[in-house]
Structure 1
Amino acid sequence: MRIHVRLLSTVVATGALLVGCGSSSGESLEDWYSSGGEKSIKALSEASSRVNEVSVRPMDTWGAACKELLTEVAEAEELDAIPSENAEGFWKEALTLFEDGGNECVAGAEADDQPRASAGIREVQKGIGRLSSTTSMIAGDLKAE
């Protein structure tokens, strides 16, 4: 249940961010968001949600979902730093947790090592919370400016 609540929080925070993006102030943050940040946040949210969803299915489905997440992490790492000190810290933590967890998940799934793959998924689940915090910080910064 906790995971589903976190996932819902991520979706709600992302939705709040989409609505709050119409403000004319905070243009550099808005520029980051409109020039790839929004797309990356959505892709990471969807891919990490899939990892979370498959975690209750047979292990043979885990590796593909984790590989998809790793692809989205690599794309997100190409973006410039978020021009929000508050959000940037959570963003980096989310990317690190997604990458480390995704790699462990893939390695565990390929080796048929369920404890290792499960540990990776738990890291991804922590990353979901950090991504939610990122979107909340961005929304707050946009609203405040």
Structure 2
Amino acid sequence: MISIIVTGHGRFASGLLGAVEQVFGPQAQAIAVDFPPELGTAELDAALNAAVTSLPAGSGVVFLTDLLGGSPFKLASQIALAQSQPCDVIAGSNMAMFAEVALERDEIASVGDFVERAQDAARAGVASLRERLARQQARASAQDDGL
């Protein structure tokens, strides 16, 4: 099973993991590492390294981060590049992404497949109510017109 480390500014990580667990139950091999304002980058780096070390080696690790280019992303990237096991970092994480890959981790063969599926889920999880209603109305109109 691919391990997941969620990290981000403030309480993003614990909030995201907590939300997924509230809806879908406890998640094995998933750790939240928060970066509150009172924590420095050295402490965050140590916490992320400790998280990687605490997880079983083998299937790989994926970091889910909040913001591309932020300190959590940069530190996770440095750690990922130093790993001997498959490892990657995804920025811009959201609940739809996390939920989908967390629930399907046993069926995902590689870190690369995991990342691809996560990115697809993230895009699919971002939607506009107004656009969705307009598409539904257009479909209903087409059906009424016999198209």
Please state which structure has a larger fraction of its residues in strand: 2
Q: Which has the higher helix share?
A: 1
**What TM-score does the superposition give when structure 2 sets the normalisation length?**
0.34
Greater relative CO, 1 or 2 (CA 8 Å, sep 6+):
1
Q: TM-score, normalised by structure 1?
A: 0.34
Q: Over alpha carbons, which structure has the higher Rg? A: 2
